[in-house]
Chains A and B, each alone.
Chain A
Amino acid sequence: MIEFRNISKVYKMGEVEFVALKGVFIAVQKGGFISIMGPSGSGKSTLMNIIGCLDTPTEGSYYLDGENVSGLTFDQLSTIRNRKVGFVFQNFNLLPYASAYENIELPMLFNGKKNTERKRRVNELLEMVGLLPWARHRPTEMSGGQQQRVAIARALAMDPPIILADEPTGNLDSKSGHEIMDIFSRLWKEGRTILMVTHDPAIAAFSQSTIRLLDGAVQENGAAH
């Protein structure tokens, strides 16, 4: 479902070039649960962003569902981000002045889903993450764990087949972290493909296999748990 062929990413900062990924080959099957590990700066987030079509590789080709994504326009990539992937970030990235309800609704607004359908879906998701009473609250009024659950609900709004989570538990205590992981396990069992960056072996233990990165290169692929 996800296939990287010789992907490289070079960041230019003025004169200085920084190679964040070099010659990466990976393949992730549908329904996989992969954790991505590696030291800070090894290119984990860069990899995730390219998978999620937030960023484009400098070299190489990326096939998503058999389609080469490399030549697509911004708006075509927007459609992929909207329908095929759901992002969960370490720092939640919720809109501060929107309620939990409005945050979850957002991806559906960009897609033009009907009013009644949006309402049904948002309530369904709020119930799933156990936050129905918090629908009208803003992120600032919620705990980290609750905010991350809103973020997960938002990632699921368009019912995407792929979930990309970049250190989803990084800002949470271990109890909230485990609650989040329970949700991910459930999503995986429902048949979604999950890629998750983490530093924590206990969190990585939830996944099927691990990709280890070092200095932008894949060091180890497929260590099973």
Chain B
Amino acid sequence: MRVQLLHLFWNEFRKRREKTSLITFAIAWGALSLLLLMSFGRGLSNAGSVNFKGLGNTLIMVSRGQTSKPYQGLPRARRIHIHMEDLELLKRQIPGIAMISPEANNNHSISYHSKESNRSINGVYPCFAEMRSQVPQAGGRFINDLDQEKARRVAFIGWNVAKELFGGGNPVGKEIRIERTPFTVVGVMKKKQQSSTYQGPDSETVYIPFSTFCQIDFQRFLDRIHIRPADPKDALFMENQVRRILGRKYRFADDDANAVNFWNTIRDYETGAKIFKGIEIFLSIIGGLTLLIGAVGVTNLMYAVVKERTREIGIKMALGARRRHIVMQFFLETSVIFFKGTLWGTLVAFNIVSLVNLIPVGYEDFGIKAYLLRPIFSFDILIIFLVVLCVLVFVSGIFPALRASRQNPIDALRYE
């Protein structure tokens, strides 16, 4: 293709710009909707996985249950409790455990000066923090191994507890009372998003060393055992191992799903991630269909443009234009229109995504806001988008262009 012809095509395109502005707008609109749907879909999917991690990162939780079938002559509906020595048993018998922590909790009154409230007090091991994604705010810490060993009276408190007792003040180093026993606050939990809880949100809980908990509360059972497998892929296998070991000890069937309860966040996360990915793909398909409708519209509009310029095509043929000159002109014109529309659509989409991300989302907003207000405009979205677009440009450009070039010059010149 000769440069001077490109120049001619460009000139003609520029002079007829207003006539194609509607087409440009249609493309911009299609590009905008596709990109927005993809970005919001990705944001949704991302918020979903962040929230799952809020409960705990690769975590299996074991808690008491009730047998659902008879076993070795024992009746069904027996309550199965779990005890501290089970934790030692599991630790000994399952080699793939990376971390394990007991958890026992009870509601107790806590107070600071005149402020008093009733909160869940939980006794745990130091590794609990890591398993449950609990990060201390600056200047504080979680309970540590020495606290556990010496059964120190220290507490790590949720941020809502801190607000309740201390208002805006810094709780670290202050002394609070749990059932009249003095405890030193060593840290406040940093805010996190959490979509699932089992006994109220972590933000309203007080954590103390398990050893200390045993001194102020005399319950015989554990409420939960938290386990993190060294390899998340072992999650299901480990769940079955735990059930078998406890089944042997408490005498229930290996396949009794209710004898002890499991909350396997790894498995939940996997299904959750699939659902969100599904939503993301679904939204992208809707966006793609919107763009496709746009492209069909563009194809039609380009056919109309070809028709409108029939006579002009005839004139050019009479003056010596070859078929490929005509094809090129219309194809390039479609491409330029697509390029312009896409550029606008992308810019607007990018700005909308950036602006929406400026809207503050509080950490207590577990629901709709966290899912909707954090769209992500990522590079791979752009790549997928551009590939889809190139296909559409080709399809909606080539057919009108071919039709333009296949005309008989005489008929084109006679066209009114």
> Which A residues lie at the B interface, using CB under 8 A?
49, 52, 54-55, 74-75, 78-79, 81-83, 87, 89, 93-98, 102, 106-107, 109-112, 115, 118, 154, 158
Contact = CB atoms under 8 A, between A and B. Distances in A.
Contacts of A74: 322-323
Nearest to B405: A74
Given A55-B408, A110-B5, 4 more contacts: A54-B413, A79-B320, A82-B320, A98-B11
Contacts of B2: 109, 112
Nearest to A110: B320
A204 B320 CA distance: 28
A93 B413 contact: yes
Contacts of A102: 8, 11
23 contacts: A49-B410, A52-B318, A54-B410, A55-B408, A75-B324, A78-B321, A78-B323, A79-B320, A79-B322, A81-B320, A82-B320, A93-B413, A96-B312, A97-B12, A97-B15, A97-B16, A106-B8, A106-B319, A107-B320, A109-B2, A110-B316, A110-B319, A112-B2
A5 B403 CA distance: 33
B101 to A, nearest CB: 79
A154 B322 contact: no
A109 B315 contact: no
A93 B15 contact: no
Interface residues of B, number: 26
B320 A111 contact: yes
Interface of B: 2, 4-5, 8, 11-12, 15-16, 311-312, 314-325, 408-410, 413
B319 A82 contact: yes
Contact of B323 (A75, A82, A95, A106): A75
A107 B320 CA distance: 6
A111 B2 CA distance: 9
Contacts of B323: 74-75, 78
Contacts of B312: 95-96
Nearest to A154: B319
A94 B312 CA distance: 8
Q: Interface centre among A49, A82, A87, A110, by most B CB within 10 Å?
A: A110
